[in-house]
Amino acid sequence: MMPVFLAGSTGSEPALFDRDLAAGSLIDQEDFAGRSLARMEPEERWAILKENLHRPRWWEPLLLCAGQLGLIEGQLKLVSDLGRNILGAGSPHEEILHRDVLLVAAMAADGVGFDRGLLDELTHRLTALADGEVPVVRGEALTGLAKLARGGHTGAVTWLVP
């Protein structure tokens, strides 16, 4: 097996994997990428993610990274900071597409451990979208609110069931 170093690895131990993993299934590759992102320093992780937030191949690694940080490692501040970074990313055409908000909603639906303040902000943004005029965006916002309500967020429950 020939070792391959992951570009952009930091610290005393570079991220290392073998060619068998590189040629492995997409699930293995996404899992490796998600865990590698979680091991990075927050600034380095954000520098990579902000350029790739809405590229389809980055969706699963980003969700896996959030799960690794919040669920497995219990680093709730780090995962909440990541969610805040995404909410404030100002991605191109965000005012029309609302991809940043919907991505954070998907992360929250996975129960990654966002803090109460972030969940409140997300609920506020989703309720505004749920009252919007674009049916697809309205539906996505309602789905996000329903998942937050299922997770026990009282703001989402109160909005959905007045």
Predicted confidence at residue 28, as pLDDT, reads 81
pLDDT in tens, 103-160: 999 999 999 999 999 999 999 999 999 999 999 999 999 999 999 999 999 999 999 9
Dihedral over Cα of 123, 45, 63, 12: its sign: negative
pLDDT number for residue 25:
72
57, 27 in Cβ contact below 8 A?
Answer: no
Please tell me the distance from the alpha carbon of residue 45 to that of residue 43, in angstroms, as a whole number.
5
Lowest mean pLDDT among 28-32, 40-44, 55-59, 114-118: 28-32
* pLDDT averaged over every residue in the chain: 87
Please determine, for residue 94, whether its predicted confidence score (pLDDT) is greater than 90.
yes
pTM of the model: 0.83
Three-state SS at 153: coil
Q: How far apart are CA 13 and CA 116, in angstroms?
A: 35
Position 32 pLDDT exceeds 80: yes
